[in-house]
Amino acid sequence: MRIAVLMKAVPDLVEEIELTADRTGIDREYLKFVVNEWDAQALEEALLIKDANGAEIVAVGLAEDPEIDAVLFTALAKGADTALKITDATFGARRQAAVVSVAARAGLLAAYLAAEPADLVITGVQASDDLDGQLPARLAAILGLPHVSVVVSLTSEEGSLTVRQEFAAGRSHELFVQSPAVIGVQSARQSPRYAPISRIRQAMAAGEITELTVSPFLPGPAPVLRGLKLPEVNNQAEMLSGDAGAVAEQIVGLLRARGLLKE
């Protein structure tokens, strides 16, 4: 079975976000990009299937994504068989340097997957910068494949997939799905495995990322960005001052005043 795991990097949410001067993009100069956390879960679920049944895993990213090499080398170090970086043949012609829209991303990945089909396409259920919808369902609709998102368990047996789709408050549905299919993973059956630095270095030294240029499918209508802004820092919170001991003292006082501490 051939599994394509689609991966991207997103701004590290612990970093402070700054806008470009024209307010249509984020200033990337000092921003750290890390693997989209749900893509890391998607890779783990693919690796678990490979561990159980054997599979060929190709980790796929877009060349224009910042830090994508690091993401793909890590995927190789964890057990992906190959890694592929796709360049958009039309890149530069129409696209601003802002965030790549999900529609454009889906158009490019769909063109690749139409040419080189996978038995199973797995990716993160969402990314924190999905302005125009999420990748799994968009991609599946373009390819005409069945899809299930918000998946917390995925197993495969002879062309039939068993997936568990999660809803609010922990309720879930177990579905049988024919492959090929596109699955959007919320969380893997176990925490993403650790990739030893030595293995990542090995993968980097071997330079095992294949590059491919693809002409994308047309992305269809997309929202038009008017502008970005940082949320007003509407800090209604009264900030407690002092060191940890002083702050702890004040918090205990607040709880005691409300009768919430058992004396």
Considering only the stretches 77-85, 88-96, 129-137, 196-204, report the one whose residues sit in contact with another protein under the rule CB under 8 A. 129-137
Using CB atoms within 10 A of its CB, is residue 49 exposed (0-12), middle (13-18) or buried (19+)? Answer: buried
Helix, strand, or coil here: 255? helix
Cβ nearer to another protein, comparing 21 with 233: 233
Q: What are phi and psi of 74, to 5 degrees?
A: -65, -40
194 forms part of the interface with another protein (CB under 8 A): no
172 forms part of the interface with another protein (CB under 8 A): yes
Q: Least distance to another protein from the beta carbon of 25, Å?
A: 10
**Residues from 203 through 222 that contact another protein (CB under 8 A):** 220-222
Sort strands 56-62 and 82-88 into parallel, antiparallel or unpaired. Answer: parallel
Which residues have a Cβ under 8 Å from the Cβ of 110 and sit 6 or more positions away? Answer: 139, 142, 143, 216, 217
Cβ neighbours of 36 (radius 10 Å): 25
Is the Cβ–Cβ distance between 128 and 36 less than 8 Å?
A: yes
**Residues from 7 through 36 that contact another protein (CB under 8 A):** 10-11, 13-14, 16-17, 26
- In angstroms, rounded to a whole number, what is the distance separating the alpha carbons of residues 132 and 1? 31
Q: Least distance to another protein from the beta carbon of 255, Å?
A: 6
Q: Least distance to another protein from the beta carbon of 256, Å?
A: 10
Q: Least distance to another protein from the beta carbon of 166, Å?
A: 7
Q: How many residues bind another protein (CB under 8 A)?
A: 91
Interface pick for another protein out of 147, 154, 156, 214 (rule CB under 8 A): 147
134 forms part of the interface with another protein (CB under 8 A): yes
Considering only the stretches 71-79, 199-207, 208-216, 255-263, report the one whose residues sit in contact with another protein under the rule CB under 8 A. 255-263
Q: What are phi and psi of 174, to 5 degrees?
A: -100, 125
How many angstroms separate the first and last alpha carbons of the chain? 62
Q: Least distance to another protein from the beta carbon of 224, Å?
A: 5
Considering only the stretches 56-64, 86-94, 147-155, 204-212, report the one whose residues sit in contact with another protein under the rule CB under 8 A. 147-155
Binding mask 77-106 for another protein (x = CB under 8 A): -------------------------xx--x
Cβ neighbours of 70 (radius 10 Å): 16
156 forms part of the interface with another protein (CB under 8 A): no
Region of 155 (left: φ > 0; alpha: ψ -120 to 50; beta: rest) is: beta
